[in-house]
Amino acid sequence: MTWTGTTVLTTPRLTLRCFQENDLAPYATLNADPAVVAHLGGIPLTAKYSDEMAAWANDLFQREGIGLLAVERTEDSSFLGMCGLHHLDAYPDDIEIAWRLAHEHWGHGYATEAAAAWLGYGFTFKSLPRVISVTEGVNVRSLAVMRRLGMTFDHNARIEEEGMTFDVVVYAIEPSSPERGGRRGT
């Protein structure tokens, strides 16, 4: 695995890039935080699995130009978490936008800013016809981000991911959605 750190997008405050090796420890810490994984099955991830996820994300970006890549605060190069576009097993015909930030970086608008840049990229450069986002109905923070992005409720579902079953809500957005919010990356 090459830990390139290649910049994909920038926003006014963020650099959205491939993972680099020095991201692995803070990413593992984030993925082991009970507050972060509460709506992801509730089981903290091992450092080994976290590293494998980062490698998978970089590989997916090299293959397809999408991935759940690193989010860095540009002003001080702090690793905040990940965000991006990927394939969700439960919805093979769609692309999902997802984010996961370290608990101490919640409430600053970083998830919305990063996700808005990825949506702009997906619609402009990947010509995606729509993007979905999936979360548990009680995950009010992620639901708020979805709404700020201009996403609208699509349907409720029960999905299985990695051997776990979740009751979820699915939100969606199309490139022509008049409510498309947030700022695009450059």
Average pLDDT taken over every residue of the chain: 92
Q: Is 84 a domain residue?
A: yes
Number of structural domains, the chain?
Answer: 1
pLDDT bracket for residue 162 (50, 70, 90):
confident
Question: What values do phi and psi take at 52, rounded to 5?
Answer: -65, -35
Q: Is 183 a domain residue?
A: no
When pLDDT is averaged across residues 134-149 and rounded to a whole number, the result is: 95
Q: Which residue has the tokens 């993007």?
A: 131
The string of pLDDT tens digits covering residues 61-99 is 999 999 999 999 999 999 999 999 999 989 999 999 999
Domain span holding position 151:
7-173
Give the whole-angstrom CA distance, residue 143 versus residue 156: 13
Look up the CATH number of the domain holding residue 134: 3.40.630.30
Predicted pLDDT at 178: 56
The string of pLDDT tens digits covering residues 26-53 is 999 999 999 998 877 778 999 999 999 9
